[in-house]
Every structure is written in C-alpha cells, then in structure tokens.
Structure 1
Amino acid sequence: MELLVGILVKVLLFAFIAGMFTLVITISVRGRRQDARIRDEWEQMAQIAPERGWTYHPCVRGQIDQYGGMGPIIYKGENQAAWHYTTGEFRGRSFKYFEYRYKRSTADGDVNDFGEHRRLVIKSVFVVMAPGSGAYMEILRRSKLGVLADGRPGKRVEVPEFDKEFRVLANDEAFFRNVLSGDVVPFMVADTRAKKSPLRFRDNELITWYTGTLSPQAVDEKLNYLCDVLDRIPAQAWTAA
C-alpha cells in the first residue's frame, strides 16, 4: 500500500511539473505571437496613413501636453510623448489619434531605482473636432468602482436604459441637456460601441480612448463612432455653449 501511495505521489508530482512546464511554454508562445501581431499592426498604421492622405509620426513630443491631467493622460507635464501620432481628416472632420504610455506601480513588472515594480500602460486616444465649442462633459460606463473612485454619481438623463449603463459628469447644465436632448441617448443605448468607448467633450473636441495598442481596425471603429455621435448632437448645443 505504501509503495502504491509513493508511486501515486511521484506520478502526481511529475504531472504537476509537466503541467507547469507546458503552461510556461504556452504563455511564452502566446506572448511572442502577441508581440508579433502588435508590431505588424504598428507597421500597418504607418502604411495606411499616407495612403489615406494622413500625416503619421512614430513619436512626437509636446503635441498632447494640453490633455495632461485628464482621463487617459493622467500626468501633467511638458513635452509628453505621443506614439504613432497621426492627424488628418475623416468624414469631413479633422482628427488626431495616438498612443499615450506611462508606468504605474504594480505587484510585478520592471523595478525602478527605488525598488518599485512599474508596469507599462498604453492608452490609445482618439480626438475629433466638433462643429463648435462646448463645455466640459464626460459620458462614462457606469460602475460602482468609478463612483467610488471620484465620488461623483453623475447626472441622470431620466431614461432608465441610459442611466443604468452610463454616468454623465458635466459642469454646464445647459450643455448637458442640449447635447443629450437629441438622438444621442437612444443611439448610445442601442450601439454596442458605446459601452466600450468613453466620451469626453473638451472645448471643440470629442475624445474617446481605450487601454491597449493602436490597430487599423480600432482606428476605423473609434473615428466612425466619434463621428456618429457628433452627427446626432443638435446644432443648438454648440451655439448655446
């Protein structure tokens, strides 16, 4: 009996080690494939820009300083880097998009001079020009974590389907009401892109972003989404702002 138990323990131990070894190899292979995919998409980004009459820069500094301290660009500063910075015109509107990169403290990742673990975070940001200037407003996916993080429950539109899914932060009541008085609310309720595309109104710009690297597919999706939202905002929202 003891011999059988010993053999069983050895078999289980071998299976565990083999399983861990297989897992490490699988993760490594997936990581290499993901890196190759990302690099291929970056190369595509550089290629499609001139084909569409857009201007592409692998990296620029100082062009996104005005966005510092807001949403995806969490740090204020001068000469902040924007990667894969692209500008042009899309559906008759001027736009820009780029990757913003920073490091945050985590339980793992690179170790800095102070012994802190820092992991690279990449945010892909898209900005489309609006037909006029508006007040500050954000439309975010509603979550308990979001409310707890900044303590702002947000304004309600009094449309149950919208208020259940989204949290609106706004300083100007008139702008808030005018923007959401048209087709924007039913559009966002019905469109699946709205749930993964936060919105920020900043002066004469509409902005969205996500965590992750840029890709040609994301560019078309996000720029189209921003234009679709702008198409549905009543003209009086801009004239009254």
Structure 2
Amino acid sequence: MSGARGRATEYCGVGPMPGKGSNLSAWHYITGEFRGRAFKCFEYRYTDPLSPTTQSGNRKLTYESVFLVSAPGPGAYMHMEPPSKLDRVLGRGPRKLLDVPEFDAKFRVDRHDEAFVRNVLTGDVMAFFLSDQRAEKNPLRVRDDELFTWYTGTMTPQDIEDRLNYLCDVVERIPAQAWTSA
C-alpha cells in the first residue's frame, strides 16, 4: 500500500511528526466517523540518519502511528504526557501547573493558555487520567479543534479501535465550556 502523499504535512509539529516539512506521506491513511466524531489515523515513516545501518546497508525505518478525533470546538495548544526519561535526566520534572500533587507528579503538561488547560483539566478529568492506565501510554495533544495521540510502531485494527476509544473517552469528559472559552 502506498502512502497518501502530502497528507501528513499538515500535522508537522504534532507528537512524533517533524517540526516542519513538505509533501510528507501518511501511510495507511484512514478517515471516517467513530462514536459520532470525525477521525483520522495514519502511519508516518522515516529513517533516522543517526540510526545504525542494516546488513543490506539501509537505515532502519521508524514507524509512528498517529490518531486524531475532532473536538467540539477550538482549543489552545496543550500537550500532556508522563515525564520522559530525558526529562528526568535533564532535571525537567513535571510542570507544576495545577497544584494537584498526584497529577503533577504523574503528568507533564505544556500549554500556551493556562486558562484553557484549567478548563480542560477539571477535578473529574484529572481523576480519569489518574485512574485510567491508557493515560500513561498515550500522550495527548490539543491543536485547534483536534485531539491527538500517537505511539511508535505500526498500526493494527485493534490499536486503531483502542486509541480512538481513548480519545473519544477523553473528549466526552472535557466540559463543553472548555471548548467555547478557548
């Protein structure tokens, strides 16, 4: 199956995507509706110039699977995930944004608009993230009117269903006024 040439370019800067680029292919590009929300998912493939070469002299191909669902309205930039090993090595602990020690210890939240993030991350939404194991494995990113998650690896039908269910569960828990106040 060939890639949808140029389809991935609009997602530059989101998750595993490069900060900029042109004519980037989205492999296994799928669009549709899931639980009443428009969605897209695709694989982005690239070779890391620093990766070792294979026996045949080629560089290893890296696969990134990206999933997004439409949000009820526009939102400000927000990126949430557990602190990475690199964050720990560099001494970049979780951002202290919400003054909820358990949440602040478990998640790093980057944002451009603190009011939007506080409207999104209500007590109920934080409790959901703290209790749902999917939150530990699925970074989240809000960009405009879309909510994203991703992982390194190829897509499977089960992964598609699992990630879209997670994104829909998140969107359904975010208070409606969060999307109208952004």
Normalised TM-score (structure 2): 0.90
1:95 is displaced (CA, Å) by 0.1
Instruction: Point out where structure 1 has 5 or more consecutive residues left out of the alignment.
Output: 1-56
1:101 is displaced (CA, Å) by 0.5
Task: Give SS of 1:97's match.
Answer: strand
How many residues of Structure 1 are paired with residues of Structure 2 in the alignment? Answer: 182
Which one of the candidate residues 7, 10, 21 is aligned to 1:77?
Answer: 21
Q: Tell me the amino acid that sits aligned with residue 139 of structure 1.
A: M
Q: Which residue of 2 aligns with 1:124?
A: 65
1:130–1:206 CA contact under 8 A, matched in 2: yes
Q: Which residue of 1 aligns with 2:139?
A: 198
Q: Which residue of 1 aligns with 2:32?
A: 88
1:179 is displaced (CA, Å) by 0.4
Q: Which residue of 1 aligns with 2:7?
A: 63
- 1:151, 1:222 → 2: CA distance? 28
Q: Tell me the amino acid that sits aligned with residue 131 of structure 1.
A: P
Which one of the candidate residues 76, 99, 103 is aligned to 1:162?
Answer: 103
Q: Report the CA distance shift for 1:206/1:158 in structure 2 as closer, same or farther (over 3 A).
A: same
Which one of the candidate residues 164, 186, 189 is aligned to 2:127?
Answer: 186
1:107 is displaced (CA, Å) by 5.2
Q: Tell me the amino acid that sits aligned with residue 11 of structure 2.
A: Y
Q: Report the CA distance shift for 1:150/1:101 in structure 2 as closer, same or farther (over 3 A).
A: farther
1:105 is displaced (CA, Å) by 3.2
- 2:156, 2:49 → 1: CA distance? 26
Q: Which residue of 1 aligns with 2:152?
A: 211
RMSD across aligned positions (CA): 2.4
1:182–1:233 CA contact under 8 A, matched in 2: no
1:84 is displaced (CA, Å) by 0.4
Q: Percent identity?
A: 56
1:106–1:119 CA contact under 8 A, matched in 2: no
Q: Report the CA distance shift for 1:107/1:173 in structure 2 as closer, same or farther (over 3 A).
A: closer
Measured against aligned partners, the alpha-carbon deviations of 1:175-224 in whole angstroms (never above 9, x if no partner) come to 01100025211001000111000000000000000000001111111000
Larger RCO, structures 1/2 (Cα 8 Å, 6+ apart): 2
1:110 is displaced (CA, Å) by 4.3
Task: Give SS of 2:59's match.
Answer: strand
Normalised TM-score (structure 1): 0.69
Runs of 4+ in 1 over 6 A off after TM superposition: none
Instruction: Point out where structure 2 has 5 or more consecutive residues left out of the alignment.
Output: none
2:48–2:59 CA contact under 8 A, matched in 1: yes
- 2:2, 2:31 → 1: CA distance? 12
- 1:240, 1:61 → 2: CA distance? 35
- 2:93, 2:75 → 1: CA distance? 21
User: Which structure has the larger Rg?
Assistant: 1
Q: Which residue of 2 aligns with 1:97?
A: 41
